[in-house]
Structure 1
Amino acid sequence: MDPNKVDEGKMSDDGEIASVMGFSGFGKKARTFDLEAIFEQTRRTAIERSQQVLEERQMDDHMEQEGESSESVKSSLPALKDKAAADTSSSDSGSDSDSELIGPPLPPQLTAQGDDPGSTAHSDEDDDEGESQDDDDDDNPVKKIPDTHEITLQHGTKTVSALALDPSGARLVTGGYDYDVRFWDFAGMDQGVQAFRSLQPCECHQITSLQYSNTGDVILVISGNAQAKVLDRDGFNVMECSKGDQYIVDMAKTKGHTAMLNNGCWHPKMREEFMTCSNDGTVRTWDLSSGKAHKAVFKPRSFQGKKVVPTCCTYSRDGKLIAAGCQDGTIQIWDRNLSVHTKFHCRQAHIPGSDTSCIAFSYDGVTLASRGGDDTLKTWDIRNFKKPVNVATGLNNYFTMTDCCFSPDDRLLVTGTSVKKDGGNGKLAFFDRASFQKVYEIEVTNASVVRCLWHPKLNQIMVGTSNGLVKVYYDPVKSHRGAKLCVVKSQRKERQAETLTQDYIITPHALPMFREARQRSTRKQLEKDRLDPKKSNKPEPPVSGPGRGGRVAAHGGTLSSFIVKNIALDKTDDSNPRQAILRHAKEASENPYWIAPAYTHTQPVPLFAEESDDDEEAEKEPEWKKRKI
């Protein structure tokens, strides 16, 4: 049997079935896609387009030098473009040979590439430009400084001596010489930038240092007294360190500091441990759960073994080392678990007698930066702690808490400079960590820059000045949250209740029933006042009887009144006092009472001294002629 006839029969049967069921045919086969071939074709097209872009750039660079060659190359470009277009059109014609498609459509990425092959080339150009810009930013750390915008927070009128940001960057805490600690919430502030809480946790002591813990739930407050305090996020007291006995010579034997505090900080790994240093010559570590006594005591010593006052202290990034800068210019570092001998000791880090205001470890934990009171900024390698790696001079420092800190990428070192009153503007200086050259500076205000803080999460710089201002520098592109949250909020207006009601003020004495009649003359008023015992000050009448209300009776109530009464009733005549006395002489001689009974046994008959002529003459002489014996 012929197979062609069989196929014709099947086709006729299909046509009959299709006519019966009411449609023209059973349809065509679903399209199948070779995804690997499509991706390969896309990759080749992208390579070709990138080569064309490179050739165009090279031609633009050499247009002036090689004019003829550039024209020939340009003439060849349309041929290359036509060839690429022919390749893509052939691939498109092969793929779109069937007008009706059955099955899922192409992914949008592949359709976009198929419609516009040059889009891959443009995307590659954008990527190359973005990568080149990123490389330039990476090479130049100055471009990462967020200083395009700033906001000003008014803490007070005195020096802002303490700054702290919580780890999330949501809240800022400031403290100053005016004893105040102010809380600022970036998410809750508007353009008015007002603190939501202000308190004086240490009464009349200046705030020296503030720092949030790693979890951000408590704040360490260091002030001018001998007891550090720990507050919660809302400013309520959590713990207060105990005070030591100032009469004990060995400071390790007492349970706390005995002199004013200089600095303090939290442990970077252990959430309940913090450290303080004081003028009593000790650095102490404390535990938040038990603040009755310190955990460990570190005692800095001079070259002669004498007590030295630590002015600043800090932990290393891993928390294993404790470093302290002292008044004699030394920097001493201990192992946290060995408190007797120092692990690293630099004898002449700064000039003796100058207070080292700040020491800070870099993020890699190898470099230590120190801000001295001798107007210098130095970096040290703790692996070779004999001499500084780099030194910057001419940085005025008039405060014992002037900061220095590292940038988040660990490539810059930041510190502030001090100025005298009306002596210019305080500056924020940026030094390259490798070359230690001043690469950038910001003029903050016409006062000294005391505190500076570069938050790594917000990428914003907080600066505290000596005139009571806090400057926040940020970049809308490079910074995150923080000051950007409160700047976009418009300042709230105070709501004033406006009521259009007519108020009637009624005083009781204005009514006719309470109104007193006006006096026409003063004589009648004086007569009335005379009859009033209070207005006329009438004296109180004498008390009759035994007395009442603290007053005694007029007669016989007291001894004085009894004596007065007897004297008044005495009828004797005292006009001649000699006769009044001699009338008792007979009774006194017969019944002696005072003197005579004492001499009855020894001298029953009294003997009196006889008066001589000499005595009479002596009595006649005046007093000033008498001989002094």
Structure 2
Amino acid sequence: MDGFDEDEFKKFFPSGFGKQTKDADVKTQIDRTKRTAAVETPGTKAIEKPASPSQQAAGDEDAAGSDSDSDSDSDESDADEFPVSHNLVFKTHERAVTTITLDTAGSRMITGSTDCTVKFHDFASLTPSTLRAFKSVEPTARKNATSSSEIHPVHVAKFNPISPSQVLVISATPQAKILSRDGDTLAEFVKGDMYLRDMKNTKGHISEITCGTWSPSNYNLCVTAGTDSTLRIWDVNDPRSQKEVIVHRSRAAGSAGRSRMTAVAWALPAQGGPNALVASALDGSLVMWGGDGPYTRPSAEVKDAHTKGTWTSGLDISPDGRLVVTKGGDDMIKLWDTRKFKQPITTVSHISGSKFYPTSNIQFSPSGANIVTGSESGHLHILNPATLKPELVTLVTPDSPLISVYWHEKLNQIFTGSANAETHLLYNPSLSHNGAMVIMSKAPKRRHVDDDPNFTTDISLGFSGEGIVSGSGISQATTFAGRHPTVGLTASGRSRDPRRPHIPAKTPFAKSQPDEKHIKDSIPLSSMRDEDPREALLKYAEAAEKEPIFTHAWKHTQPKTIYAELSDDEEETKRPGPEKKRIKRDY
């Protein structure tokens, strides 16, 4: 046969019989998540890593026309050193992501948001096309007297570093909760008596809790800090009363002596450093106690660590327990030495955006060789802990503040939460393990008809969402729910506005007012309800006279009525007329 191509013809036949398995092209899927060049935003400049003397000498020799090559080499070296070359985006929240935590093994991620929910993500069940949470919990949801749901934003969610089956969840309430890794409530700490003046005599916090963390040595202990100027150490086995109460006496607060506690950190002595408990307050002070007590008086205190009245949102202790880094609302980052806790070692300027997001944090890397934090412009900053100078600055969310950061030790991946409700997972295929690599090793699932498109990702458009940026800096691929976080309903049928109570959806089988078509089809003679009753009866008068229904049996046997014949005179006398009134007479 002329023009017959046997190879093309064989492509129409299957290669085998039975169920065909779809293998994942891991390399192609990973390449699709590779980050593009950073998009510069107005008012920011690209910050590069300082070149070594040998690189400077080579740059002087090849100064003519070699700038682009040096830039690409520096970008590649940074990408090889830090896990930021690739990006996965989770769009499971509806508002700003305020906290991120992972268990020790790195198999489960929990995120909290100002949409008053905590989302649970399991990497083992995720695929490149279904980046969604398997469970959503409202930690403070309860019914009040008006039968409406009372919920609050989530400030902190932290896995227990020793026992990963417990999660500390802190919302904008006086009561913290302990949840299981599956979202079940294990314990709820008691609320104190707000009418007592001495905070040592109350059984719990009397006002909003702002932050908290776990003990690094005892898996049963955790500490919470609140706006009642106290730190309280709890035993999860006895949530009805705290174990220790630490009252911060603020001299700057006047006669009341109270100041809001803004951040707290507990050192990890397993790394070889001293056990210390460090907290910051709204009066600008930085206080340190011994991690094992006694807590009657602080071991060291800095009164003017940051500007008074500014919110110090970020606080962390190095793995060796010798350095403390703080990020304040005065747009300053300061490095402190626990052995000389009077003056900061280094101070740099940094616009963090903690004025609007009080949970904006700062964190040491797992090895302690770097410090990672976010900025108001959406950049991720990796700093040198000795000088606080940036080693890498990369744009993650254009024109959207980067609030929370988390660098996992075993996964070697950086997780970021932004004000645009996105959770970014930054990784490097050559440096990272599990986590994103487990997700990318699976074949993408086909979108089901019942899947919510807000919780799925179209793999053909990529993952980072950095390629298409409009004039205002907002991605054109943003979903309707991202642009309007309080409009419409979620996949579970609840209103996107957390202040609005849940209203069940009306279906054709549960309508309080059935439609007209349903009435006509189901109820006989239902159209008569809109007619005039008199007209409805008279339209059958002629037919009833010709063919009577009820008197049809007497149609031929019924006698005719015979009336008496009266004369004209008799008719006049019989006519009814007005009766004459009788006249009363007195005799």
Show the counterpart of 1:209: 156
Alignment correspondent of 2:246: 298
Secondary structure of the residue aligned to 1:491 is coil
SS of 2:213's equivalent in the other structure is: strand
* Number of the residue aligned with 1:475: 428
Equivalent in 270, 280, 300 of residue 325 of structure 1: 280
Unaligned runs of 5+ in 2: 1-73, 142-150, 451-517, 529-534, 546-582
Q: Give matches, 1:556-595, under 5 Å.
A: none
Contact 2:371 2:382 (8 Å CA) reproduced: yes
Q: Residues 137-536 of structure 1: matches in 2 within 5 Å?
A: 143-191=80-128, 192-203=130-141, 204-214=151-161, 215-303=163-251, 306-318=257-269, 320-336=275-291, 337-397=293-353, 398=355, 399-418=357-376, 425-446=377-398, 447-493=400-446, 526=540
Shift of 1:430: 1.2
Partner SS for 1:150:
strand
Deviations 1:141-168 (A, max 9, x none): 8743101111000132311111111111
| Alignment partners' CA distance in 2, 1:198 and 1:440 | 34
Deviation at 1:475, TM superposition (A): 0.6
The separation in 2 between residues aligned to 1:245 and 1:495, in whole angstroms, is 51
Q: Residue type of the partner of 1:471?
A: H
Structure 1 residues without counterparts, runs of 5 or longer: 1-136, 419-424, 498-506, 532-574, 577-629
Please list the CA deviations of residues 204-254 of structure 1 after superposition, one character each: whole Å capped at 9, or x if unmatched: 111000000122101100000100000101101100000000000001001
CA-CA distance at 1:193 after TM superposition: 0.4
Structure number with larger C-alpha Rg: 1
- Are the structure 2 counterparts of residues 529 and 221 from structure 1 closer, same or farther at C-alpha, using a change threshold of 3 Å? farther
Offset from partner CA, 1:164-200 (integer Å, 9 cap, x none):
1111100110111110110011111111201100121
Show CA shifts across 1:45-84 (max 9, x none).
xxxxxxxxxxxxxxxxxxxxxxxxxxxxxxxxxxxxxxxx
Structure 2 counterpart SS, 1:252? helix
AA partner of residue 213 (structure 2): C
| TM-score relative to the length of structure 2 | 0.60
Q: 2: CA distance between counterparts of 1:431 and 1:142?
A: 15
Higher relative contact order (CA 8 A, sep 6+): 2
Separation in 1, partners of 2:91, 2:240: 37
The aligned residue for residue 14 of structure 1 is none
Give the whole-Å Cα distance in 1 for the aligned partners of 2:118 and 2:541: 67
Does the 8 Å contact 2:175/2:205 carry over to 1? yes
* Contact 1:278/1:310 (<8 A) preserved: yes
Asked if 2 retains the 8 angstrom alpha-carbon contact of 1:158 and 1:178, the reply is: yes
Q: 1:394: Cα distance to partner?
A: 3.3
CA contact (8 A) 2:79 2:85 kept: no
Q: What's the TM-score once normalised by structure 1's chain length?
A: 0.56
Q: Conserved in 2, the CA contact under 8 Å of 1:325 and 1:358?
A: no
The structural deviation recorded for 1:526 is 4.7
Distance in 2 of aligned mates of 1:245 and 1:528 = 84
* 1:429-453, Cα deviation, whole Å (9 max, x unpaired): 1111123211111101120000000
CA distance in 2 between partners of 1:345 and 1:496 (Å): 59
Q: Which amino acid aligns with 2:285?
A: T
Identity of aligned residues (%): 29
* Alpha carbons 2:232, 2:243 under 8 Å: kept: yes
Q: Output one character per residue of 1:470-515: Cα deviation in whole Å (capped at 9) or x when no partner.
A: 0000011100001111123233225689xxxxxxxxx9x99xxx99
For residues 409 and 290 of structure 2, the distance between their equivalents in structure 1, rounded to whole angstroms, comes to 27
Structure 1 residue 321 displacement after superposition: 1.7
Q: Matched residues in 1 for 2:544 and 2:97: separation? A: 69
Match of 1:322, as an amino acid? L
- Once superposed, what is the RMSD of the aligned Cα atoms? 3.2
State how many pairs are aligned: 375
Q: CA deviation at 1:314?
A: 1.3
The alpha-carbon distance between structure 1 residues 411 and 495, as it changes in their structure 2 partners (threshold 3 A), is closer
Once residues 313 and 160 of structure 1 are traced to their aligned partners in structure 2, the CA distance between those partners, rounded to angstroms, is: 20
More helix by proportion, 1 or 2? 1
